[in-house]
Amino acid sequence: MIYGGSTVCADGCLFRRPCDIIKFVFKHPYRELFIWETMQKTGLVYHPIYLEHQTGSWHPERPERLTAILQAVEAAGLKNTLVQLTPKACPLEYIKAIHSDRLINSIKRLSSSASPQHIDADTAVSGKSFEAALHAAGAGIAAADAIFEGTIDNAFCAVRPPGHHAETDRAMGFCLFNNVAILARYLQREKGLERVVIVDWDVHHGNGTQEIFYDDPTVLYFSSHQYPHYPGTGSMNEGGSGKGETFTVNAPLRAGCGDAEYQQVYTKMLPPIADVFKPDFVLVSAGFDAHRDDPLASMGLTDEGYAWLTKLVVDIAQKHCNGRLVSMLEGGYDLRALGASVTAHLEVLSGKRQSG
Ligand SMILES: [Zn+2]
């Protein structure tokens, strides 16, 4: 209420000048009631060529995944709060920093056919797959550039094909080029960063990312995944080699783990690891196939569980690297669960939602 030119709160505090109000808010015992986090500018990186990567009519990694994400984001009223970014094709020099010429050339050659050609039982390419894969890798670069230009604070890249199973010399598990690995090297080479952490919560182990950085102490790879499960790697004993020893951290989880178990594991492991490693940038291999409705695995995460995980990595990025974070889509094959989980992920990234 207004009291003789001053404002008085219920406890009788007097405000005579605007700065008194600021002091009140910081000192008042009710400060915990206020929401302190500011809204973040979050990028949504997408290119329509991702829909032209055709894998065959039976395939779970299908264009409708991205359509479902875009529809869910729009239905949640999020679209206008996000900064929409359209990436370019990733220059080959950045792909070659991670992958062999043999792999790059074989994907390019197989992509010359209009009908899907199989690299292995799970992984197919068709006419536009090479271009789509170049633009998927380019999404991370567009997001990182926008963060360093100050256009956005963090970003989610709605890409396909996914990347975390792709090894230096092998495409597999729906993945052609390792998008998140290409981005990690780009950040080091072009932005001068020393240490990058990759958090991979896809339900499958990211064997490709692990292989690429296994002896590298500058890129810390942390993965939680159902175990044993495809692709068979990711035991606790796999912890890096040579100079990279201890810089690969695997959290193999039994089937059936849900929000409570994930929160326990992540709370105990990830913040202490980040406190020691002190990352200059946080990358997320954001797979949403640990969702309880996903048909390709047997975990029990909910949309809220994914929101909680997102808050944890956002907090780590804010503590260590000014909030710099890019997440890239990996798996997630139930269309409803994928749309809802990505929406929750984006709400937390943008500060619209506090946690799960
Ligand atoms: Zn997966």
C-alpha pair distances (Å), 25 with each of 6, 218, 236: 16, 42, 47
The full 3-state SS of 223-252, as one line of letters, equals EEEECCCCCCCCCCCCCCCHHHCCCEEEEE
pLDDT for 199 equals 99
Contact at 8 Å (CB) between 94 and 186? Answer: yes
Q: How many angstroms separate the CA atoms of 284 and 209, rounded?
A: 12
pLDDT for 4 equals 42
The residues annotated with a catalytic role in the active site are: 165
pLDDT for 112 equals 86
Taking the centre of ligand 1 as the mean of its atom positions, its distance from the CA of residue 62, in whole angstroms, is: 13
Q: How many angstroms separate the CA atoms of 311 and 305, rounded?
A: 10
Taking the centre of ligand 1 as the mean of its atom positions, its distance from the CA of residue 164, in whole angstroms, is: 9
Phi, psi of 173 (to 5 degrees): 55, 45
Read off the tokens for 29: 């015992």
Q: How many angstroms separate the CA atoms of 156 and 84, rounded?
A: 10
Q: Which residues surround ligand 1, an ion (CB under 5 A)?
A: 202, 204, 287, 289, 331
Q: CA end-to-end span of the chain, whole Å?
A: 36
pLDDT for 30 equals 54
| Cβ contacts of 221 within 8 Å, gap of 6 or more | 198, 200, 206, 209, 210, 213, 247, 248, 249
Q: Which residue's structure tokens are 């500018």? A: 41
pLDDT for 114 equals 76
Taking the centre of ligand 1 as the mean of its atom positions, its distance from the CA of residue 260, in whole angstroms, is: 20
CA angle 99/102/107 to nearest 5° reads 85
pLDDT for 115 equals 81
Taking the centre of ligand 1 as the mean of its atom positions, its distance from the CA of residue 204, in whole angstroms, is: 4
**What are the residue ranges in the chain where pLDDT is below 70?**
1-38, 356
Spell out the domains of the chain, with CATH numbers in brackets: 1-34 (no CATH), 37-349 (3.40.800.20)
pLDDT for 1 equals 36
Taking the centre of ligand 1 as the mean of its atom positions, its distance from the CA of residue 18, in whole angstroms, is: 52
pLDDT for 332 equals 98
Cβ-in-10-Å burial (0-12, 13-18, 19+) of 298 comes to middle
Q: How many angstroms separate the CA atoms of 227 and 322, rounded?
A: 34
Let me know how many helices (H) and strands (E) the chain has, helices first: 10, 13
Contact at 8 Å (CB) between 124 and 92? Answer: no
Taking the centre of ligand 1 as the mean of its atom positions, its distance from the CA of residue 121, in whole angstroms, is: 16
Taking the centre of ligand 1 as the mean of its atom positions, its distance from the CA of residue 348, in whole angstroms, is: 22
Taking the centre of ligand 1 as the mean of its atom positions, its distance from the CA of residue 296, in whole angstroms, is: 8
